[in-house]
Chain A
Amino acid sequence: MKNTIKVERAILDLTQEELAKKIGVSRQTISSIEKNRYVPSTVLSLKMSKLFDKPVNAFFSLTEED
């Protein structure tokens, strides 16, 4: 799974810390998601979807490995 969280975050001009605070996780988790080291839960993905005002599949997509 790959994502464009970093781009979405830049559009809203948010730091990792600010995004983390808004969706109730640690900065480490945001950093890990951006680097595809951690795949977030549906709840967390939907929180990001609400914040970015975009559907989840606009910033998360499957790769061939999935």
Chain B
Amino acid sequence: MLVIEDKIKLLPYWFKSIGIGVAILSLIVNFSLDIWEISIDRYYTILVLILGLILVSLSAEKFEDEMFKQIRTNSIFYAFFAGILAHFVLVFLNFWVGGSIEDHSSLHMTLWMLGIYLGTFHSSKNRLKILNSIED
């Protein structure tokens, strides 16, 4: 019998700190490339940033319950369609403006989708917290 149930298993909360650390480290290295002219391909720093954001995205909240899973689902929905929209914009630019889509565009697209997902999730969570505290 097919049962539709919540099968999403997330990493423990402390993985979020590791993810944030990795993301911050990659951003520092990314900015250092310009200042000290280190010869590392920016591709790798973006890759590490994505890895950090994936860890943050896949980490559970301190108290992950059904409401947070609902907020997560809504955020995934927005991130998915924002990704499709961005893809169409890139294709449009490619067709009308000319030139080919960059080799790194898949990385930027992933970064964009993760950004939308994390941004939506955290802003919804914080907005709810603020609104609830105002009315309490």
Interface, chain A (partner B; CB < 8 A)? 24-26, 28-29, 31-32, 35, 37-38, 40-41, 44
For residue B133, give the distance in angstroms from its CB to the closest CB of chain A: 8
Q: List 18 A-B contacts (CB under 8 A).
A: A25-B63, A25-B67, A26-B63, A26-B68, A28-B67, A29-B66, A29-B68, A31-B132, A31-B136, A32-B67, A32-B128, A35-B131, A35-B132, A35-B135, A37-B128, A37-B131, A38-B67, A40-B66
A25 and B132 alpha carbons, distance in the complex (Å): 16
For residue B54, give the distance in angstroms from its CB to the closest CB of chain A: 24
What's the interface size class on B, roughly? 10 to 19
Interface, chain B (partner A; CB < 8 A)? 61, 63, 65-68, 70, 128-129, 131-132, 135-136
B132 and A32 form a contact (CB under 8 A): yes
Would you call the interface of chain A mostly helix, strand, loop, or mixed?
loop
A28 and B66 form a contact (CB under 8 A): no
A28 and B131 form a contact (CB under 8 A): no
**A28-B135 in contact given A40-B66, A41-B66, A44-B66 (Cβ < 8 Å):** no
**B132 touches which of A37, A41, A44 (Cβ 8 Å):** A37
Residues of A within 8 A of B67 (CB): 25-26, 28-29, 32, 38, 40
